[in-house]
Chain A
Amino acid sequence: MPSILPALEWLEALAWATAIRESNWGYPIMETAHVASIVAFAGLVMVMDLRLVGLAFAQTPLTRIQRPLFPWQMAGFALSGVTGLLLFVVDPLRYYGNVFFRVKLVLLALAGFNALGFHLTIFRTVGRWDEDPLAPKTARLAGAVSLLFWAAIIVSGRLIASNWFD
């Protein structure tokens, strides 16, 4: 299998990646936007998850909470995704070797599968249980898993900043 390292070295040497890496303000702004958009995204997802597991808004139908939140969740996800990708491109070799970065990627994939599974299965029948204060077991499980995964993703993202295993 060819190594990914030459591709990462090519990315790192790009003129615009170098300019951001050495910038006074560009990088800090990008980093701050990444964190702020994660706060918006994860916070709004957790509102839905708390309803799913039955710890908040139990008397409000799930879709009345989730439908209006959805575009804002997606906006937060899009901005955190774009800024995250840029942060990676600016310093790809450092992230590639960072154990917490790898953990975060795996957790992101797992959280994605959880959300996809939820939307393709139990959420299809939401019309039947929308107003139930206690959602079906599968839906509660998806909510609990989402809460755990997103919390773990934020923690692992935070730990990327440490050089412990570099």
Chain B
Amino acid sequence: MTGGIVIKTKIIPALLTAGVLCAGQSALAHHPFAAEYDAEKPVTLTGTLSRMEWVNPHSWIYLDVKQPDGTVQKWTIESSGPGAMSRRGLKKTDFVAGMSLVVKGYQGRQKPAIANGRTLVLADGRSFYIGTVGGPNDGADK
């Protein structure tokens, strides 16, 4: 009887603690990069901006990328939220539909035309880090 209570009082808090620790770990990665994007599949996308959603928690860049065969592939690129973009010197008005952009990032695991953006290069040559927390340590943020 006493033994049972001791086991219960020790095991249940231990399980709760383990759960809290696991939750804390994934929270650090905001939403886990690895669950959605493949660090083994870097992509460099050159195209024209069709739309930019300057939104929390993460922004979305919609890029029309012309393929060698002349067809257009529509890419969706997840990037930093407004706060991080602003601190790195970007403004919502920097994004104008039809402008040419180069985005370096990593391809999605499930959907092929989705990427996690890391570096944005504007037509005037200025380059910005647009990555989110939890991406691979590739130096894009330097």
Is A155 a contact partner of B8 (Cβ separation < 8 A)?
no
State which of B8, B13, B57, B92 has its C-beta within 8 Å of the C-beta of A31.
Answer: B57
Judged by a CB distance under 8 angstroms, whether A125 is at the interface is no
Chain B contact residues, majority secondary structure = helix
- Return the CB mask of A129-147 against B: 1 if under 8 Å, else 0: 0000000000000000000
CB neighbours (8 Å) of B16 from chain A are 151
Is B12 a contact partner of A55 (Cβ separation < 8 A)?
yes
Judged by a CB distance under 8 angstroms, whether B41 is at the interface is no
CA distance A84 to B97 in the complex (A): 33
CB neighbours (8 Å) of B36 from chain A are 162-164
A16-24, A63-71, A73-81, A111-119 - interface stretch: A16-24
Is B55 a contact partner of A91 (Cβ separation < 8 A)?
yes
- Return the CB mask of A87-121 against B: 1 if under 8 Å, else 0: 00011000000000000000000000000000000
State which of A27, A55, A151 has its C-beta within 8 Å of the C-beta of B8.
Answer: A55
- Contact of A24 with B83 at beta-carbon distance under 8 Å, contacts A31-B57, A55-B12 already known: yes
B26-34, B67-75, B99-107, B118-126 - interface stretch: B26-34
CA distance A27 to B16 in the complex (A): 30
CB neighbours (8 Å) of A154 from chain B are 23
A residues at B contact (CB < 8 Å):
20-25, 27-28, 31, 55, 90-91, 151, 154-155, 158, 161-164
Query: CB-nearest residue of chain B relative to A31?
Result: B57
CB neighbours (8 Å) of A151 from chain B are 16, 19
Is A21 a contact partner of B30 (Cβ separation < 8 A)?
no
Judged by a CB distance under 8 angstroms, whether B54 is at the interface is yes
Query: CB-nearest residue of chain B relative to A18?
Result: B55
CA distance A164 to B114 in the complex (A): 12
Q: Nearest Cβ distance between residue A101 and chain B, in whole angstroms?
A: 14
State which of B9, B30, B32, B56 has its C-beta within 8 Å of the C-beta of A23.
Answer: B56
CB neighbours (8 Å) of B9 from chain A are 55
CA distance A20 to B56 in the complex (A): 8
- Contact of A22 with B83 at beta-carbon distance under 8 Å, contacts A155-B23, A163-B36, A164-B35 already known: no
Q: Nearest Cβ distance between residue A59 and chain B, in whole angstroms?
A: 13
CB neighbours (8 Å) of A164 from chain B are 35-36
Is B23 a contact partner of A23 (Cβ separation < 8 A)?
no
The 5 closest A-B pairs by CB, nearest first: A27-B56, A161-B31, A24-B83, A162-B31, A21-B55
Judged by a CB distance under 8 angstroms, whether B136 is at the interface is no
CB neighbours (8 Å) of A27 from chain B are 56-57, 81-83
Q: List B residues 34-60 near A (Cβ within 8 Å).
A: 35-36, 54-57
CA distance A90 to B55 in the complex (A): 10
- Contact of A22 with B30 at beta-carbon distance under 8 Å, contacts A27-B81, A55-B8, A162-B35 already known: no
- Contact of A22 with B26 at beta-carbon distance under 8 Å, contacts A27-B81, A162-B35, A164-B36 already known: no
